[in-house]
Chains A and B, each alone.
Chain A
Amino acid sequence: MADLTRPSQRPPSSPPQSSAQARSQRGPGSIPPNAMPKAAALPRGTGTILVTGACGRLGKHVVRIQHRERRVIGVDRRPFPDKPKDVVHEQVDIRRKKLKDLFRAEPIEAVIHLGVMHDPRASQAEHHSWNVAGFQKLLEYVAHFQVPKLVVLSSANVYGPQPDNAQFLTEDAPLLGGARFSEIRDLIEVDMLAQGFFWKHPETETVILRPVHIVGAVHNAASNFMRLPTIPTLLGFDPMVQIVHESDVVRAIGRALAPGQRGIYNVAGPDPLPLSHIVKILGKPSIPIPYTFGRALLKRLWALRLTTFPAPELDHIRYVCMVDDRRSREDLGYEPEVAIEETVRSVELESW
């Protein structure tokens, strides 16, 4: 698994075309803009983009930023009540055939895949079918209709919090998130599928983004945790954590859309800080709980459906899982703009 994570160090498994090989030697993310013959031929950066998972909080944010400059098609099985007028919303399941019609109807210039389901309450089978089978369908269409750009939103959680993690994990660190928390395995599989696609289809510029805990108006485990009225911590543990504001992630996605960009990028926010500083900035009380007791309690609460946090997620407030974002800063030119205090407090604001 470890060597799968960095395509630049491995020869492509499929016999590549000569142009693909020349590109691959330089590694992901190192192509200067307009280096590709295709990019030179097409007026890039203005065509239609298709966003999956457009009705999530992050998806809406992406759509609202992108539709100012180009035509946007949102795909989600949920409704999009307050969508901007010029955005086309197709309420389809990405596993359905109808998705293909969207690709057939008009040339799509870029696909942004945000439609990853991570609901710890949903069944494994549903997760797998949606995340893996659905994504495979999407990849099939991207390849078949030769979409020049694919941006996949993975997560830094794929590395997983471990006691022996390096303080800053680079993009080639092994994806061990599933070792202690099996529910995250299909997210790792999505990341791996995207990596495989990166090599098999050099004609599509594939960008995989692995942001750290996204906070803001989004409803994910990190933001929900920070919204708790009293924040539980583990007695004697106070790991350094990285968080990133959702608008910074949207900015990183925008950077990834630039013609010529490809590769795997960690996306981190402003400076890392200890969990206790987050609690301090939020001005909330916190309760330190011994790990063994906390784990047993959380398991019981989970079984009684009183909490949305599965017990293995406790490792996130126990061990370090931070990423090295130098590559995205250097190659994508990404820079987080929201300061750390504002990023922390953003979970308290319900709308943007």
Chain B
Amino acid sequence: MRSLTRLGGTLRAIAPLARRIVDGATSGIDDWMTGKLGEEFNERLARVPLNLTATGVDEFGLDPQWTKYALASVAFLHRKYFRTEIFGKEHVPAGRVLLISNHSGQIPIDAALIGASLFMDVEPPRFTRAMVEKWTQTLPFVSLLFARVGQVVGVPENAKRLLESDEALLVFPEGARGISKSFDQRYNLVDFGLGFMRLALETGTPIIPVAVIGGEEQYISIGNFASLAKLLRMPTMPILPQLLLPFGALPLPTRYRIYFGEPMRFEGDPDDDDAVIEEKVFVVKATIQSMINRGLKARKSVFF
């Protein structure tokens, strides 16, 4: 305990110096960011609707400062690396909204890019909230980062609360099965969960179907190493031959295309039988699948 105190004292002594370095670094990064992304980035940042508490974070732990830097780095991927094209951005309403998207790409870059387009392209700019696997909460740094940039644990109570405070909520009803599709199954939607539809019915939220194209080709997966995944307690463990190449850990620079569909509104009892809810979910799934198919047909090249 005494050594702890002494260590604390040392920390206190170097704290002002560390603070000065950090402050210098952040203002430097801020200037650089403004130079790269333009004044528009800061201007949009100021217009994002937020419900902050007295200590400067929202009740789910979103910190606008963290989100700013996260968005800035995603903005680079969005504009320069994946050169995302957005279609139908006028369909996204200003109030509460559920964005239902196909999931692809082994790591959730699709979520980051949808988040970036909602901030950089859609009017008014928003911070997208998404639901993350419960498992991620047990990981140091990951859980912290997710909370600070507005990602919440995937339980229905959280989703309901976010929609009630008029946030934009991104849901991938395919879940982890969707993101780890192998290459031969690309762009074929797997079964949708029903939770999002019950949520939409309960909170009277419009659903925006979203089709993301380009994610399936960023990492070519030839299968799933299920036993290793189980051993590491991870949801999946895709087999990615490209990891053996130099710089293979980077996703391939495919061109992303994000299609926002027209709002879909559903009515009914949120506690209805699965069969009844399933019918409604099927309508959404069919819409997304046909948006994907049309997008794939319109696409001339995977990379351009």
Q: Which residues of A contact B (CB under 8 A)?
A: 163-170, 229-230, 232, 234-240, 270-274, 277, 284-287, 290-291, 306-307, 319-320, 339-340
Indicate which residue in A164, A238, A274 contacts B153 across the interface (CB closer than 8 Å).
Answer: A164
* B10 nearest CB neighbor, chain A only: A285
Within 8 A of A (CB), among B1-60: 1, 4-5, 7-9, 11-12, 15, 53-57, 59-60
| B290 within 8 Å of A (CB atoms) | no
Q: Which of B118-126, B134-142, B183-191, B270-278 contacts A (4 or more CB under 8 A)?
A: B134-142
Contact mask for chain B residues 122-160; partner A; CB cutoff 8 A; 1 contact, 0 none? 000000000000110111111110010000110101100
- State whether A167 touches B140 (Cβ < 8 A): no
The complex places the Cα of A184 from the Cα of B60 at a distance, in Å, of 26
| B161 within 8 Å of A (CB atoms) | yes
B138 CB to nearest chain A CB (Å) = 5
Interface of A is mostly: loop
| B61 within 8 Å of A (CB atoms) | yes
A285 with B11: in contact, given A163-B135, A167-B59, A340-B55 (CB under 8 Å)? yes
When distances are taken between beta carbons in the complex, the residues of chain B under 8 Å from A168 are 59, 157, 161
When distances are taken between beta carbons in the complex, the residues of chain A under 8 Å from B60 are 167, 240
The complex places the Cα of A307 from the Cα of B1 at a distance, in Å, of 9
- State whether A284 touches B8 (Cβ < 8 A): yes
- State whether B53 touches A273 (Cβ < 8 A): yes
* B12 nearest CB neighbor, chain A only: A285
Interface size of B by CB at 8 A reads 35
The complex places the Cα of A333 from the Cα of B223 at a distance, in Å, of 57
When distances are taken between beta carbons in the complex, the residues of chain A under 8 Å from B11 are 230, 285-287
* B141 nearest CB neighbor, chain A only: A236
A232 with B4: in contact, given A167-B153, A237-B140 (CB under 8 Å)? yes
The complex places the Cα of A341 from the Cα of B258 at a distance, in Å, of 44
Can you name 12 A-B residue pairings with CB atoms under 8 Å?
Answer: A163-B143, A164-B134, A166-B157, A170-B157, A230-B4, A236-B142, A236-B143, A238-B144, A277-B56, A277-B57, A284-B8, A286-B11
The complex places the Cα of A166 from the Cα of B15 at a distance, in Å, of 35
- State whether A163 touches B140 (Cβ < 8 A): no
When distances are taken between beta carbons in the complex, the residues of chain B under 8 Å from A239 are 61, 147
A290 with B54: in contact, given A164-B155, A229-B5, A285-B12 (CB under 8 Å)? no
B157 CB to nearest chain A CB (Å) = 4
The complex places the Cα of A270 from the Cα of B57 at a distance, in Å, of 13
Which of A166, A170, A286 has the most chain B CB atoms closer than 10 A to its own CB?
A166
**5 pairs of A and B residues whose beta carbons are closest in the complex:** A236-B140, A230-B8, A271-B53, A166-B157, A163-B137
When distances are taken between beta carbons in the complex, the residues of chain B under 8 Å from A287 are 4, 7-8, 11
When distances are taken between beta carbons in the complex, the residues of chain B under 8 Å from A277 are 55-57
B205 CB to nearest chain A CB (Å) = 18
- State whether B161 touches A229 (Cβ < 8 A): no
B253 CB to nearest chain A CB (Å) = 30
The complex places the Cα of A232 from the Cα of B7 at a distance, in Å, of 11
When distances are taken between beta carbons in the complex, the residues of chain B under 8 Å from A340 are 54-55
When distances are taken between beta carbons in the complex, the residues of chain B under 8 Å from A307 are 1
The complex places the Cα of A11 from the Cα of B57 at a distance, in Å, of 41
A237 with B59: in contact, given A229-B5, A230-B5, A230-B11 (CB under 8 Å)? no
- State whether B15 touches A240 (Cβ < 8 A): no
When distances are taken between beta carbons in the complex, the residues of chain A under 8 Å from B139 are 236
A291 with B59: in contact, given A168-B157, A230-B8 (CB under 8 Å)? no
When distances are taken between beta carbons in the complex, the residues of chain B under 8 Å from A285 are 8-9, 11-12, 15
- State whether B140 touches A270 (Cβ < 8 A): no
- State whether B54 touches A339 (Cβ < 8 A): yes
- State whether A319 touches B4 (Cβ < 8 A): no
Within 8 A of A (CB), among B56-87: 56-57, 59-61, 63
The complex places the Cα of A286 from the Cα of B7 at a distance, in Å, of 9
The complex places the Cα of A159 from the Cα of B95 at a distance, in Å, of 33
Known: A166-B158, A238-B144. 13 other contacts (CB 8 A): A163-B143, A164-B137, A164-B153, A164-B155, A168-B59, A232-B4, A236-B142, A236-B144, A271-B59, A272-B53, A272-B59, A285-B15, A340-B54
Which of B15, B59, B161 has the most chain A CB atoms closer than 10 A to its own CB?
B59
When distances are taken between beta carbons in the complex, the residues of chain A under 8 Å from B142 are 236
- State whether A237 touches B53 (Cβ < 8 A): no
The complex places the Cα of A271 from the Cα of B54 at a distance, in Å, of 7
The complex places the Cα of A224 from the Cα of B5 at a distance, in Å, of 15
The complex places the Cα of A347 from the Cα of B5 at a distance, in Å, of 18
